[in-house]
Amino acid sequence: MEPSNKITKFAALSIVMERKIILTSDGSHTLFVPELEEHFHSVHGAIQESMHVFITNGLLNTSKPDICIFEVGFGTGLNALLTLANKGAKSVRYFSIEKYPLLPSEFEQLNFAKLLSGELQGQFQLMHQCEWNSPHIITPGFELTKLEADLTNFSFQDFPDFDLIYFDAFAPNKQGDMWAEDIFRNLSDHTNPRGIFVTYCAQGEVRRKLIRSGFEMQRIPGPPGKKQMLYGEKA
């Protein structure tokens, strides 16, 4: 796709789906979509939510030295940044799918890297600025491939099996097609045995769909402001 076409598409998106930057309770930013009445992260704290759901209960539960991560919803790039900051000695291949990437005027204002460590600012900007649909080495041991695509018709045929899945789509009552059982089954088919699945959502129907798709799921304590979340492993 030519750059001019991307600009046209993004401009159209910004008109159709306005996104406002707001502060959450831990001082970190999130985006609010008035059309959906939905935030990208918890208003109780964007960083602390992502740390609890995806890093503490996801990344830090993996014991492999080399891991492959698939993220549903690149969004602000916060989960990718926190993964980079907390991976330790692990070597990470990180795939993230996003249908509507942020505009530079949006991601350039986000304060995650400044709150975490000034050294991360350049890496955070590189994550957003690097070309879509191609692998990029952000730092040694962290390879990022952003996929500008629609998960509902996406094929994993040419991708490696995953060790960890961050499922961070908008809530089922806002974006129901992203939580379809055939999507979970497709992800399960491309997840290694004992691979981990984590999401902020704790909805019973979502849990049952994941169980039917081949994950052993359980509810565990959620981040501040949310009683529970879902954690599972590939059977």
Residue 58 phi/psi, 5-degree rounding, is -115, -80
Distance from C-alpha of 81 to C-alpha of 123, rounded to nearest angstrom:
8
Residue with tokens 């990029």: 136
The pLDDT of residue 148: 97
The pLDDT of residue 97: 98
Beta strand 135-139 pairing with 38-39: unpaired
pLDDT one-digit tens code per residue, 53-110: 999 999 999 999 999 999 999 999 999 999 999 999 999 999 999 999 999 999 999 9
Is the confidence at residue 112, as pLDDT, over 80? Answer: yes
Structural domains in the chain plus CATH codes: 50-234 (3.40.50.150)
The string of DSSP letters for 120-181 reads: GHHHHHHHHHSPTTSEEEEETTEEEEEEES-GGG---TTSPPEEEEEE-PSPTTTSGGGG-H
The pLDDT of residue 140: 97
SS3 call for 2: coil
Average pLDDT of the chain?
92
The pLDDT of residue 37: 92
The pLDDT of residue 17: 74
Is the confidence at residue 24, as pLDDT, over 80? Answer: yes
Residue with tokens 């600025």: 129
